[in-house]
Structure 1
Amino acid sequence: MNRHTPLAAAPARGLAVAIGLTATLALTGCSSGGGSSEQPELSVSSAYMPQPVSDLAAGFLVITNRGGGADKLTSVTGDLSDDITIHKTENQKMMEVTSFDIPAGGELDLERGGSHIMFMDIKRRPQQGENVNIELHFEKGDPIAVELPVKETTYNPAQQ
């Protein structure tokens, strides 16, 4: 029995192995097991806070998800308050919620009269022209640091 492989067969066998590995890697990348195309890709725009007139404040912004996977805004932290929550407004009543959905390829619009960030018992009243720093926390995505520019109390971008 001859255990030696002829030299001409070795490159052909190596090529077959390389083609097989390439095909396996390509199929693995196409599996439904969480490729990067299924991950959320979040960005924030249009952030602001109306100048507070009491120990409460609100924050508004738009979170855009350009990724192929949905995510959820689960909480907000910041140094202006130890009690920052997220709220929705239904039938002119504010209700605290545990999260907001951010659909794949969609956006979450936190706006006056609707869903928003609520700051309770604020430690100081920021003035127009200042920035308030917050961090948004998500179910899947990494936290995002955001600066909320403080605008006049009646500011509403929908009316600008």
Structure 2
Amino acid sequence: MEMTNAQRLILSNQYKMMTMLDPTNAERYRRLQTIIERGYGLQMRELDREFGELMEETCRTIIDIMEMYHALHVSWTNLKDTQAIDERRVTFLGFDAATEARYLGYVRFMVNIEGRYTHFDAGTHGFNAQTPMWEKYQRMLNVWHACPRQYHLSANEINQIINA
């Protein structure tokens, strides 16, 4: 991230104010203030991640993934025999914090800030699946989109989706 000295000074002051306004995260803000003031290039890349951009198409795909899991769970609930499929298989796990942090951040934003899919269980890791999920979800979406009744899935269709 390239910044002028004036931009760095302004951002440094913002972090200083945040330290006072949000004492629970003060240490984090002090660290970021130091990075900005001293211009540590490697650590400034963290700001690129924080201020990064998630394209509209990616956001729509993530919402589609979450909607697919909503449909899976609704369909599973409506099955006569739910014992055939473990409920955990139709529960949205989220994304990997290490490799898919932007996707994970968007999921948390959608649930915690936007108030959508609040019925999803964030688990103890807050939707951190702890393994990369993007490719798996893409395969699942392809199968789900091919189903004629996406919100009234049969046990066979549910199995095809979760095993994609």
Name the structure, 1 or 2, with higher relative contact order (CA <8 Å, separation 6+): 1
Give the TM-score normalised by the residue count of structure 2.
0.29
Give the TM-score normalised by the residue count of structure 1.
0.30
Larger Rg over CA atoms:
1
